[in-house]
Amino acid sequence: MASKIVDVHTHVYPPQYVSILKTRSKVPYVRDTVPGQPSRLIILPGEDDPSSESTAKGRPIGPEYYDINKKIKFMNTHGIDISVISLANPWLDFLDRDEAKGLARDVNDAINSMCDAHPGRLFAFGALPLSAPSEVIVEEIHRLPSLKYTRGIIMGTSGLGNGLDDPELDPVYQALEQENLTIFLHPHYGLPKEVFGPRGADYGHVLPLALGFPLETTIAVTRMILSGVFDRFPKLSVLLAHSGGTLPFLAGRLESCILHDAHYSGPEAKVESRRSVWDILKTNILLDAVVYSELGVRAAATASGADRVLFGTDHPFFPPLEGAEGEEEQKWLSVTTNYKAIGDAFGPDKEQAEAVLGGNAIRLLRLTTD
């Protein structure tokens, strides 16, 4: 029997989440811009520049974002056996403190029900009500294992508002570690617009998506490392989007800068003795393989081990270049690029390629319902 193919990086907005986005007038929101054209989804900070009447704000949103049957068709077209679906950014980050608890339950239940409707094809990462009080977040974490298909949670880089090195997150990390739920750490907030220079907008969405996103992820996980999260919670498991942003490539420099900080900071050096970056990469970090290059997959596999790298697609983002027409039957360039990168990275070693394509996810995320 051929080994299974598992997509760990694939997003969905349940219909009730889309309804909320439609009622909003601030980012994130959905709006109809041009009659006869698809609605547009405006989610990124700064994407809603009020001085611009551009119709290119955000991205077109169609049923591929909320109709789970579209996901199944996409999986069938691309030979994907199992998808671990997750709420797309910005998750529940923007909710008022009072509504977060209820909506988190609703969304997590809705995503779990989607999985239930396609048994064996779908598992899920839940979402946390991070704007609610800490005890509400922890309560939802302890409820998640009761949802048959939920294996972790997806989370952005802001945490409770101060980033992932915030000591106030410790109860959250503790509960996740205790319940053996993986954190899928995903970017959303990018970098401030000014770092891309006065001509940044000339390049459309390229700089924020190609660089801002992975750099955000890299900074976030580095702050977790430096603040000792993985020393305090040595069994915490974190799946990093886009092959870790750039963590595999920068791990050597990071470790070197930590070792040398006493020289620069003198007696005030504050990064205390802690586990090495390489150790954390091989013990606590999982990397998806959404990196669009052979050298990226290789670097990821060297950094975390080929047994800790997991195929993903980023569906429904990066759809076919030819537009929505016939989208369901055609293969997506973004997906075939990542398939090819895995094949090329491992060459004749089919076992490693098969592990990355599915075996690792099944083992590490326990994707069985027995």
Residues of this chain, 287-346, that bind its own copies according to CB under 8 A = 291-296, 298-299, 302-303, 318-319, 321, 323, 333-334, 337, 341
The correct pick among 35, 36, 199, 329 for binding its own copies (CB under 8 A) is 199
The correct pick among 160, 255, 275, 305 for binding its own copies (CB under 8 A) is 255
Task: Quote the radius of gyration of the chain (alpha carbons, Å).
Answer: 20
Query: Rounded to an integer, what distance in angstroms lies between the CA atom of residue 125 and that of residue 148?
Result: 11
Tell whether residue 117 is a contact of its own copies (CB under 8 A). no
Closer to its own copies at the Cβ: 143 or 193? 193
b/e map of 266-305 (b: 16 or more CB within 10 Å)?
eeeeeeeebeebeebbebbbbbbbbbbebebbbbbbebbb
Considering only the stretches 90-98, 103-111, 122-130, 207-215, report the one whose residues sit in contact with its own copies under the rule CB under 8 A: 207-215
Own/partner long-range contacts of 346-350 (Cβ < 8 Å, ≥24 apart)? 346/297, 346/301, 346/306
Three-state secondary structure call for residue 352:
helix
Nearest approach, Cβ of residue 51 and its own copies (Å): 15
Closer to its own copies at the Cβ: 131 or 338? 338
Nearest approach, Cβ of residue 246 and its own copies (Å): 4
Nearest approach, Cβ of residue 179 and its own copies (Å): 26
Closer to its own copies at the Cβ: 31 or 59? 59
Nearest approach, Cβ of residue 16 and its own copies (Å): 26
Q: Sheet of 150-155: strands edge to edge?
A: 6-12, 82-87, 122-127, 150-155, 182-185, 238-240, 285-288, 309-310
Q: Kindly determine how many residues on this chain lie close enough to bind its own copies according to the rule CB under 8 A.
A: 79
Other beta carbons less than 10 A from residue 7's beta carbon: 28
Considering only the stretches 12-20, 69-77, 93-101, 256-264, report the one whose residues sit in contact with its own copies under the rule CB under 8 A: 256-264
Tell whether residue 54 is a contact of its own copies (CB under 8 A). yes
Judging by beta carbons within 10 Å of its beta carbon (0-12, 13-18, 19+), is residue 91 exposed, middle or buried? buried
Considering only the stretches 62-70, 80-88, 98-106, 261-269, report the one whose residues sit in contact with its own copies under the rule CB under 8 A: 261-269
Nearest approach, Cβ of residue 101 and its own copies (Å): 26
Give the x/- contact pattern for its own copies in 212-241, rule: CB under 8 A. Answer: --xx--xx--xx--xx--------------
Nearest approach, Cβ of residue 109 and its own copies (Å): 31
Nearest approach, Cβ of residue 45 and its own copies (Å): 13
Both structure tokens of 277: 């970056």
Q: Sheet of 59-61: strands edge to edge?
A: 29-31, 39-42, 59-61
The correct pick among 102, 168, 195, 279 for binding its own copies (CB under 8 A) is 195
Closer to its own copies at the Cβ: 81 or 216? 216
Near its own copies in 131-190, by CB under 8 A = 162-163, 165-166
The correct pick among 66, 196, 233, 339 for binding its own copies (CB under 8 A) is 196
Strand 6-12 and strand 82-87: the pairing is: parallel
The correct pick among 267, 325, 326, 370 for binding its own copies (CB under 8 A) is 267
Q: Within 161-239, where are the H helices?
A: 170-179, 206, 213-226, 229-232
The residues near 44 (Cβ < 8 Å, ≥ 6 apart) are: 27, 58, 188, 190, 208
Which among 314, 307, 306, 308 is positioned nearest to 285, based on CA atoms? 308
